Amino acid sequence: MEVSLPGGNYGALIAVTPSRRIIAAGLSPGSSHSITLVRFDQRGALDPTFGVEGVAVIELSDALEHMLYHCVALPDERVVLIGTRKVSNMIAQDYFFSCVGADGALDGSFGSGGTTIIAPYNRVFHVFSATLQSDGKVLAHGEGVQWPEGYTANALMRLDHDGRPDPTFGEDGVHFVERGLRLPALVVRPDGRILMGGWSDSHAQVRGYDAAGQTDVSFGDGGVADLPVPGGESMTTESLALQADGRVIVQGQISPSDNDKRRSFVMKLRPHGERDHTFNRGEPLALSWTPGRAVLADAAGRVFALARDEYVDRAQLTVLTPDGFVEQPVFTLPFPGVEYHFPANQLLEHLPGTLLVNAQVIDPDTQVHRLMIARLLI
């Protein structure tokens, strides 16, 4: 399926609503303060009940430039758009959370007139990840710099059901976690406990936090599960997923010290952070020489690992058995054109037995950006 939005050099995102409709969202052509949303039914046809014939345009503040990073579907078919706002000197200064109703209009009951602004730092970089908790609250993770100290920090931000910062979480809905770490991966357990994955000094880690954002000492070693690093190599954690039984799927990258190639890997941890020795004997399973992008697990424990082949600009999917063997050959998605690096490919569950993969594609002749969405039978 091809979606001609949003134009320019900005990427589009997708989300799946509880009714299994597909939402595509991106910045409008020629504008950095208008977001275009397109909603499709389960079959991929435009949904005429949304906006005007399936298309809605949301106007945000025209005084600031916006960058869209995440789109989270709520239980009642609304979606929350999450990104950064910046002034003309290109310094992002805060995060925005805007809610669009099931009809395609900005939801005025959310936050202040449909938008909540959070500014935990003097300068914000990007929104690493965002997810929906089982209680319907939105949790997002952003990275930024606090001046004049100049340190880089990670902020978890949680919104209440009305779109305002959750007063029970951190200080005014913001909780700062460790400095000096890169933590791009985020998942929330059904009981509200939080897992974040990243790296420190080339060592891949998964960190556990309780529902309030405090270190969960029952996870790993005092809240930290360090992944084994092969000799002479560095590792990063890029994405996380949860199995139905509580096991944690970790996807990341291995970078040998003697070249600039990056190889994706997958491994499993038990619910409390110990290595799962039923999966590849508890060791990271090295896959193709492609950076990892996303990972999912089905009810049977199979793992679906999405990576990107940088040499041919294509997304690739690998299917693994519950114990870590390759179940199907690597499948390269046949998207036309040249895939763009932003946003990263997404891997989402759709109808039973199907997955969605998206890609931002550039026509090499016209340089027009298009969003491509593929549905795969699994």
The DSSP line for 321-338 is -TTS-EEEEEEE---SSE
State the pTM of this model.
Answer: 0.91
SS3 labels along 186-211: EEECCCCCEEEEEEECCEEEEEEECC
Going by C-alpha positions, the residue among 298, 310, 245, 297 that lies closest to residue 266 is 297
Tokens of 277: 């020795």
d(CA 155, CA 149) in angstroms, rounded, equals: 16
Instruction: Tell me the three state secondary structure of residue 376.
Output: strand
d(CA 162, CA 189) in angstroms, rounded, equals: 22
pLDDT of residue 335: 76
pLDDT of residue 313: 67
d(CA 326, CA 280) in angstroms, rounded, equals: 11
pLDDT tens string 52-82: 999 998 988 767 788 889 999 999 999 999 9
Pairing mode, strands 369-377 and 354-362? antiparallel
Pairing mode, strands 151-159 and 55-59? unpaired
pLDDT of residue 6: 46
- Given a cut of 80, whether residue 322 has pLDDT beyond it is yes
- Given a cut of 50, whether residue 187 has pLDDT beyond it is yes
pLDDT of residue 260: 65
Cβ distance 305 to 266 under 8 Å? yes
Helix, strand, coil percentages in the chain from 3-state DSSP, rounded to 5: 0, 50, 45
Handedness of CA 168, 170, 172, 174 (dihedral sign): negative
CA dist list (Å): 181 to 202, 282, 355: 10, 24, 31
pLDDT of residue 369: 74
Handedness of CA 39, 41, 43, 45 (dihedral sign): negative
- In this prediction, residues 231-252 reach a mean pLDDT of 90
Residues in the chain: 378
Tokens of 220: 């790993």
pLDDT of residue 362: 75
Instruction: Tell me the three state secondary structure of residue 281.
Output: helix
Residue tagged 């509880």 (tokens): 18
Instruction: Please name the residues in contact with 251: beta carbons below 8 A apart, sequence gap of 6 or more.
Output: 237, 238, 239, 240, 241, 264, 265, 266, 292, 294, 295, 305
Q: What b/e string do you get for 103-126 counting C-beta neighbours within 10 Å, with b at 16 or more? A: ebebbeebbeebbbebebbeebeb
Give the lowest-confidence range in 207-216, 242-251, 253-262. Answer: 253-262
Instruction: Tell me the three state secondary structure of residue 378.
Output: coil
DSSP bridge partners of 219 = none
Position 100: which residue type? V
Percent of the chain residues topping a pLDDT of 70: 87
Position 231: which residue type? G
- In this prediction, residues 82-95 reach a mean pLDDT of 78
Ordered domains of the chain (ranges, CATH): 1-168 (2.120.10.10)
Q: How many CB atoms lie within 10 A of CB 225?
A: 23
Residue tagged 């909540």 (tokens): 116
Percent of the chain residues topping a pLDDT of 90: 54
pLDDT tens string 116-164: 999 887 777 789 999 999 999 999 998 887 766 667 788 899 999 999 9
Read off the pLDDT band of 7 (50, 70, 90). Answer: very low
Q: What is the DSSP letter of 171?
A: B
d(CA 300, CA 348) in angstroms, rounded, equals: 17
Top pLDDT among 249 and 152 is at 249
Tokens of 335: 């998207």
